[in-house]
Homo-oligomer: A and B are copies of this chain.
């Protein structure tokens, strides 16, 4: 049985994983880069070790250093969190070789789902609907034109090894096909060292809806319902909610069954997520599987009433699932907002810096997963995610009202954040009506870039605060008072010296 867990991650997720370990009575080992000595996960862990310089490649992605710490500290198991090494098949394999439990799926599952074309093929074989398109890598230009013709426009060209929007091209008409095919291939080669691409039908007005699954080593697989993740900026999720406003009970049941089939097709074990792309007409297609915990897992935890990290650890311990599909239900509604250190007025440019003041939103129906504290300097090397704010209520309108209230309470000074931007989303009719897809932010851009109104009186108060602050500051260093101050500096020193007997 696992007794000591190394968390190979940083930020909010490292702290979140350690919290569940502590509740289970497990010892925790933290690892940190040279930029992270003061990070919260180092303070939270029972043990903590430095694993290299600030750049991720030399620390959080350095498998050798992490394994060395695991062995030195007598760790039984490694939890990879999300990002970094969480979907690295070689790392999963290496842990196995070293006799350390990897809290996650096998290298085989990771590798199969990691290559998009192999994943598509596997899903097709398992009967899971995929976006109409090629099942083979394409390199030939003539072949690409022929296939494009069969699939029909608009379509997407995607890099097989892809991710992060690189090597991806939207083609609306036939005459754009060849130039786009060439650029996509060249981008893919540059970014991933592999120029193979594939072609998929483009779904207009797509929704991103994903299903959480849990699978044990005994072959039991369950799903914990969906999460709606369509509110995105720069292809990154900003707000997630469950249940999805688009969902019907029949659709949920159908998609849930496919999610389970998808996991079974790769002999999955642990927690995972099947992402679907869903059209406005509720046609749905397998998009990809994330073979790890998701950033947005808390909304599922809240609505289903489980602790997914504890489930992961139980599965890693070889225990069968105690949750049964027909006993699970969604209770109420949950929304998560991701709080980023970024400038929403300037293309969401990240904003590292020092946090001078925080007021955390609290109270009924609010969960806060974060890691920054007052005086903490958010490093420039890692993700700009500061925290996740999760609300719950019996109904969707109340959960939105609660999120609006929580965002109103939430204050961070020192770095720019997207808090006000998120607050505005809570007031946009399309969001309130649950009538949105991945184009939401683009579509509502005008409303989202307008500042809230601070009237004349409010402006006056803003100026008054500066005025009073400045007055009091000057008061302290006024020249006419300086001689007195000067004298008292001497006196102060005298007093301190007598007290301290230097």
A residues sitting closer than 8 Å to B (CB atoms) are: 15-16, 19-20, 22-25, 44, 298, 301, 305-307, 331-332, 359-360, 362-370, 373-374, 393-394, 398, 401-402, 404-405, 408-409, 474, 477-479, 482, 486, 489, 493, 496-497, 500, 502
Q: Which residues of the other chain, B, contact A23 by a CB distance below 8 angstroms?
A: 398, 401-402, 404-405
**B363 near A16 (CB under 8 angstroms)?**
yes
CA distance A61 to B308 in the complex (A): 48
CA distance A19 to B13 in the complex (A): 28
In the complex, 14 of the A-B residue pairs with CB atoms within 8 angstroms, ordered by the A residue number, are A16-B364, A23-B398, A23-B402, A24-B401, A25-B401, A305-B331, A307-B364, A360-B362, A362-B369, A363-B368, A477-B496, A477-B500, A482-B493, A486-B489
**B497 near A474 (CB under 8 angstroms)?**
no
Q: Which residues of the other chain, B, contact A369 by a CB distance below 8 angstroms?
A: 362-364
Q: List 6 other contacts, CB 8 Å, given A307-B393, A489-B489.
A: A19-B405, A305-B394, A331-B331, A360-B360, A478-B502, A479-B502
Q: How many copies are assembled?
A: 2
CA distance A482 to B368 in the complex (A): 47
**B306 near A363 (CB under 8 angstroms)?**
no
**A364 near B331 (CB under 8 angstroms)?**
no
The residue from B366, B393, B394, B478 contacting A367, defined by CB atoms under 8 A apart: B366
Q: Which residues of the other chain, B, contact A359 by a CB distance below 8 angstroms?
A: 373
Known A-B contacts A19-B405, A366-B367; the reply to A479 vs B500 at CB < 8 A is: no
Q: Separation in Å of the A498 CB from the closest CB of chain B?
A: 12
Q: Which residues of the other chain, B, contact A25 by a CB distance below 8 angstroms?
A: 401
Closest 3 CB pairs of A and B: A23-B401, A22-B405, A19-B363
Known A-B contacts A19-B405, A332-B305, A497-B479; the reply to A370 vs B362 at CB < 8 A is: yes
CA distance A393 to B497 in the complex (A): 55
Known A-B contacts A23-B402, A398-B23, A493-B482; the reply to A367 vs B360 at CB < 8 A is: no
The residue from B20, B22, B362, B363 contacting A408, defined by CB atoms under 8 A apart: B22
Known A-B contacts A305-B331, A306-B394, A489-B489; the reply to A298 vs B496 at CB < 8 A is: no
Closest residue of chain B to A492 (Cβ to Cβ) is B477
Q: Which residues of the other chain, B, contact A44 by a CB distance below 8 angstroms?
A: 409
Closest residue of chain B to A496 (Cβ to Cβ) is B477
